[in-house]
Amino acid sequence: MSGTQIPNEAQCLAALRAGDRDRYLCALLTPDHARGAIVALYAFNLEIARIRENITEPTMGEVRLQWWRDFLEGNPHGAAQANPVAAALAAAIDGYGLSTSPFLNMIAARQFDLYDDPMPDRNAFEGYAGETASALIQLCINVLEPEAAAHSAEAAGHAGVAQLVAGTLLLLPAHRARGQVYVPGDILRSAGLDRDGFLAGKERDAIGQVVSAFVSLGREHLSAARIHSDTLSPEGFAAFLPVVSVETVLNRAEKLGAAVLEQPPQAAQWRRQWHLWRAARRGRF
């Protein structure tokens, strides 16, 4: 249903502006009729993605994830509708006929964030990306252009993995400070490193090899996403706007090498905004 009114759009936008500036900018470039729903999806993603940084022990995070799980399954706790993101998400799900399964899978995947277990291998990383970044892109397509959802799944899948590679590179300093390692274990092992060696940051040549291999994984999926997104309409393309900055992050990370442990490979905000605006006009990322 196009043009569905979504409550609390301004509050959700404000949360995005403060906590996820790139998706906030992407939301502003989304077609007017779907913007409220896209903002609700992005705000929900932000809510569950930042749980780890707001807790002191995993049990507290499990409780928060369970709150969202119960809400989506129709068993809300307390005044759920007083939560602006929950109310907006419920309206988006109802208004656009979205299945709750992708949201529940996203919550299940986010349990990984609560603990310090390292990412086992590339398959596990791609699976995690599929349930989080890729699923979010696909949900946005279901809002923007539902008739294109069936043939856009491959593009969304690859795009989400590429986006998660870039996001992981950007968050390496924060993850390292918390003792988290999202870089796949088989990539670490190929350079003779394990979780502790990577976090220690002393073997700079080996860490540089890890970064290079991880960047290659991102480029592989970005290339595949571009191939499979050739048939996207301008309407559906808006779902892929968060992927626009991926190539820049990968290029900067490769140049930084091991220094990404201390310095996020992030371009200036004005440059990111310009790239987003240009991509939205051209319909390509």
Report the predicted TM-score, pTM, of the whole model to 2 decimal places: 0.96
**Residue 81, pLDDT score:** 67
How does residue 75 score in pLDDT terms, banded at 50, 70 and 90? confident
- The mean per-residue pLDDT over the stretch 178-196 comes to 98
Residue 17, pLDDT above cutoff 60:
yes
- The mean per-residue pLDDT over the stretch 154-182 comes to 97
Residue 1, pLDDT above cutoff 50:
no
Q: Which helix (H) or strand (E) holds 266?
A: none
Question: Tokens standing for 134?
Answer: 């890729």
When the pLDDT of each residue in the chain is averaged and rounded to a whole number, the result is 95
Residue 265 contacts residue 256 (beta carbons within 8 Å) = yes
- pLDDT tens digits, one per residue of 189-219: 999 999 999 999 999 999 999 999 999 999 9
How does residue 232 score in pLDDT terms, banded at 50, 70 and 90? confident
**Residue 80, pLDDT score:** 64
Going from the C-alpha of 81 to that of each of 54, 61, 77, 86, 99, the distances in angstroms are 22, 21, 10, 6, 19
* DSSP annotation of 130: I
Q: Which domains does the chain have, with CATH numbers?
A: 1-115 (no CATH), 118-285 (1.10.600.10)
**Residue 173, pLDDT score:** 98
What single string gives the DSSP state of each residue in 106-164? HHHHGGGGGS-PPP--HHHHHHHHIIIIIHHHHHHHHHH-GGGHHHHHHHHHHHHHHHH
